[in-house]
Amino acid sequence: MQVYFGGASLRNVQKALALQGVKVSHVAIFKWIRKYVGLMQEYISTTEPNVSDTWRADELYLKVKGDMKYLFAVMDDETRYWIAQEVSNVKQGANADRLFMKAKNVAGKAPETIITDALPSYMMAAGLNYPHATHIREIAFAGGIHNNKMERMNGEIRDREKTMRGLKVTDTPILGGMQIYHNFVRPHQGLNGDTPADRAGIRVEGTDKFMTLIQNAQHQRVIDNGIIVLPD
């Protein structure tokens, strides 16, 4: 997980494991990623990040089987926590309502300020989901109101997509894994080495944060199934 979401391709992860005496196909590695991303997402959904009252939304294009798609995302301005994401077939005419509703459910509140570009769907979704929020729609790359923080996150996604040479399916676990990596694993220079989750009040202990998340997720699933696990 660490090597893959850190930037390596599936085949390079396969080669790295082979150097450690682990022979496995790149297909099996993808199945592990799908399994554990799903497990971590299930666990993370039970947490609530302590985000600020100012959020940002933006979109970037992705290639899925060679076709153009758009990834819409909402990020907290202060902690840089990637709150929600949604993939759309189109940019103009896209429905951002589900994205904004999802972000509100994850954060447990609506923002007081939402910063976007001038895409009409953002205006409609903000009016429906954040009726009392100030909606800033006139942004630029320079000046007091800009979306540079979102652009940096978009750069992370773009770099990762280049390594993968595009996505295979719209509902890929890779995007969910990238969100987990961004929020819980990768230290951010703009946060003085903290992760967005650290700043949002969700600390993941240990040097291998993926392992900690997976273990916590498995433990939570056991508790939810009504099984008591005694410590070693």
Contact criterion met (CB below 8 Å) for 216 and 207 = no
pLDDT for 62: 82
**Distances 187 to 89, 113, 150, 200, 204 between C-alpha atoms, Å:** 32, 26, 16, 13, 12
Q: Is 210 exposed, middle or buried (0-12, 13-18, 19+ CB in 10 A)?
A: buried
| CA distance readout (Å), 139 to 114, 115, 151, 193 | 12, 8, 12, 28
What is the C-alpha to C-alpha distance for residues 186 and 28, in angstroms, rounded to an integer? 24
Q: Which CATH number fits domain 54-191: 1.10.10.10, 3.90.180.10, 3.30.420.10, 3.30.1330.30?
A: 3.30.420.10
* Kind and range of the H or E run holding 59: strand 54-64
Q: Could you list the mean pLDDT of each consecutive 10-residue stretch along the chain, which spans 232 residues?
A: 88 92 92 93 93 94 80 94 91 85 96 92 93 83 61 75 64 88 92 95 90 88 49 38
What was the pLDDT predicted at 169?
63
Containing 19, the helix (H) or strand (E) segment is: helix 10-19
* Distance in angstroms (rounded) separating the CA atoms of residues 49 and 55: 13
So what's the pLDDT on residue 187?
92
Q: How far is CA 12 from CA 24, 32, 163, 169, in A?
A: 12, 15, 11, 21
- Whole-model pTM over 0.85: yes
- Residue 96 CB coordination number (10 Å): 25
Long-range CB contacts for residues 211-214, cutoff 8 Å, separation at least 24: 213/40, 213/43, 213/44, 213/180, 213/184, 214/36, 214/39, 214/40
pLDDT at position 229 is 42
Hey, what are 72's tokens?
A: 């819409």
* Distance of alpha carbon 43 from alpha carbon 202, whole angstroms: 12
Indicate where the chain has its CATH 3.30.420.10 domain(s). Answer: 54-191
Q: What pLDDT score was predicted for residue 150?
A: 77
Q: How far apart are CA 69 and CA 43, in angstroms?
A: 28
| List of E strands, 81-148 | 82-88, 113-115, 134-136
